[in-house]
Amino acid sequence: MNGAEPAIRVQGLAKRFGDKTVVDDFAIEVPRGAIFGFLGPNGSGKTTTIRMLCGLLTPDAGEGACLGFDIRRQAAEIKRRVGYMTQRFGLYEDMTVRQNLEFIGRMYDVQPLKERTAAIIARFGFAERRDQLAGALSGGWKQRLALAACVLHRPELLLLDEPTAGVDPNARREFWEMIHELAAEGVTVLVSTHYMDEAERCHRIAYLAWGKLLLQGTVAEVVARSGLTAWAVSGPDLPTLQIQLRQRPGIEMVAAFGTALHVTGTNAAALAAAIAPFRDDPRYGWEPTEPSLEDVFIHTLARVGANRS
């Protein structure tokens, strides 16, 4: 990924629908072969941003290039080199796996079609299911088929809009293994997700809210730059303890994580002073811990939301 021209480089992107600004002054650079995760609450502008980055939607302001082509003037060239997987299954459920792939192949004028379809069927594990109706597949296999259809025409860039929503953990893991295989072959992947474990599988992440880019970098960079200090506390009646802790100055956030609470703040000394009285209670065990990516996102959203109000 290092040394090559970026797959995507844009600055100042903005998009409005009526009087609502959905994306505001967005800038990013995505290396070739990177898996770049887009995260944020519903309505944060993730899908709109991704569609602008690859020429599927024209920005109202800003400029840049995708795969070496101008996102405004050469959108048609970009689209031919992109595979786009929507959140909802978009193939024909009354056609077989093979028929769906051959149909997509004819749309993209894939040559030789039969050989390429057979190779994709083998690669994605559909040899025993090639003549099965797509509508009869499980959720995980439907997502696998959608991904197979996306890469049939050998795109340089994949856009995956919450691709594993509603599938079981094993299918999610297998899906992400396929994504990493494609990235290792040089395919650039933009993926939107709500899952923290999936965000941690990305090479780099961007966090959006209210149309603004709030955070970006590797997971380690994002966590390190947050400035958060975190403690984990376990013991009895944590809901009551959570209410008490939230009332203490110096504690900015208290969130339940399994059988413990994560207590976080940006001022380490103030946080230590705030929890000191509770650490003397022998019923509870306190340990310093690393802030999680979820801690960082929740804290960032709360801070930015407070500044907006």
DSSP string spanning 170-208?
HHHHHHHHHHHHHHHTT-EEEEE-S-HHHHTTSSEEEEE
Q: What is the pLDDT of residue 260?
A: 95
1 pLDDT above the threshold of 60: no
- Dihedral sign of CA atoms 280, 286, 289, 292 in order: negative
Superfamily the domain 229-290 falls into: RRM (RNA recognition motif) domain (3.30.70.330)
Confidence at residue 3, expressed as pLDDT on a 0 to 100 scale: 55
What pTM does this model have? 0.89
pLDDT over 80 (residue 307):
no
Q: Which amino acid would we find at residue 31?
A: P
**96, 133 contact by CB (below 8 A):** yes
How does 207-244 read in b/e, with b if 16+ C-beta sit within 10 Å?
bbbbbbbbbbeebeebbeebebbbbbbbbeebeebeee
Residue with tokens 């040899």: 127
pLDDT digits (tens, 9 = 90+) for 51-96: 898 888 999 999 999 999 999 999 999 999 999 998 777 889 999 9
Hey, where are the domains in the chain? 8-222, 229-290
Q: Residue 225 in contact with residue 217, Cβ under 8 Å?
A: yes
Contact (Cβ atoms closer than 8 angstroms) between residue 10 and residue 64: yes
* Torsions phi, psi for 22 (to 5 deg): -90, -35
Look at the block and give the residue holding tokens 């992109």.
82
Q: What is the arithmetic mean of pLDDT over 176-202? A: 94
Q: Whole-angstrom Cα distance, residue 12 to residue 4?
A: 23
Spatial CB neighbours of 302, under 8 Å, sequence gap ≥ 6: 252, 253
Closest CA to 105 of 141, 143, 68, 153: 153
**Residue written as token pair 């030789």:** 112
For 107-111, the CB contacts below 8 A with 24+ separation are 108/80, 108/152, 108/153, 110/152, 110/153
Given a cut of 70, is residue 44 above it in pLDDT?
yes
**Topology at the third CATH level for domain 8-222:** Rossmann fold (3.40.50)
pLDDT computed for residue 309 by the predictor: 59
Can you tell me the mean pLDDT for 104-109?
95
